[in-house]
Amino acid sequence: MIHLASPLARKTSLALAASAFVGVDADDAGILARLKAEGTASPADVILLVDAARLWRGDIDGLFKPVKSKTLETAIPEKLRARATDEGTTWFGFSTRARVVVYDKARVNKADVDTYEELADPKNKGLLCTRSGSHPYNLSLFSAVTEHLGPAKTEQWMKGLVANMARAPQGGDTDQIKGVASGECGVALTNTYYLARIMRSSAPADKAIADKIGVVFPNQQSWGTHVNIAGAAVAKNAKNTANAVKFMEYLATPAAQNHFANGNNEWPAVASVKIDNPALNAMTGGSFKADTVPVSVLGSNQVKVQQMLDRVGYK
């Protein structure tokens, strides 16, 4: 049986049809809680989650089984999977998304928001909108920033973010994009697939939103734009381990990578696989500089980052 987070359900339907597994769709927190509650009675074989910090949490909680697969180790870059041990690797990333900046083209100069650091600059006071700082997407970004700036400078940066808020953190990434388009916000953070959905939509309201906003891939002149993953692991108490590994190996094939990534407007984790996604291509012009911090370290900073968020009052 496959347990999958709801954003992955849409993009794995082809893979599920090609396997002998039955899928259970739930949010990430619900999946991890269910695995803990069921223990050895869990019917889960493969777990699919949508954030490196969530995969790290499942790993730390002992919910995954290390596996050895030359196919996966060859196909998935080291920076997009858990650190290998003598027992094997606990999880692998299968698609990637970037955490970018969207801005109001009528009010904000692109050059004023082309780094994550500038979002905390007083020149952007009263303009910033984000979802909760404690949401895993932001925790992962802030963990990456901590790797680059160190804890002290990152906490000062967070204070600047709070000072620049146009409103209290609320809603999801789509709400931040809409807030910029409506004029309530001047600049916001979002994962690229939320923006791509709007850009690919034929709905007049979405076209109007896309016309009003610009997008920046931050830190192209320094460490690069933060990238996160959707990934998979074999459940600790899997009853069909061999087939679970085969399923994950299938997800690394070109056909599955195209469906897995393009179905949710993301980039394939397998570097040799290219997808033709007009929205993603329009955003990047074909390529962008991605942060090279291994996603496996993002979860390890999570507790430290949450403590900093609490101290600076970032809700």
Q: What does the mean pLDDT of the chain come to?
A: 90
* Token pair 């804890």 in the structure block, residue: 151
Identify the weakest region by mean pLDDT among 160-174, 215-229, 237-251, 291-305.
291-305
Identify the weakest region by mean pLDDT among 4-13, 47-56, 129-138.
4-13
**Mean pLDDT within 100-108:** 98
Domains and their CATH numbers in the chain = 2-96+228-276 (3.40.190.10), 97-225+296-312 (3.40.190.10)
- For residue 300, the model assigns a pLDDT of 86
Q: To the nearest whole percent, how much of the chain has pLDDT over 90?
A: 78
Q: pTM score, two decimals?
A: 0.89
Per-residue model confidence as pLDDT tens digits over 175-211 = 999 999 999 999 999 999 999 999 999 999 999 999 9
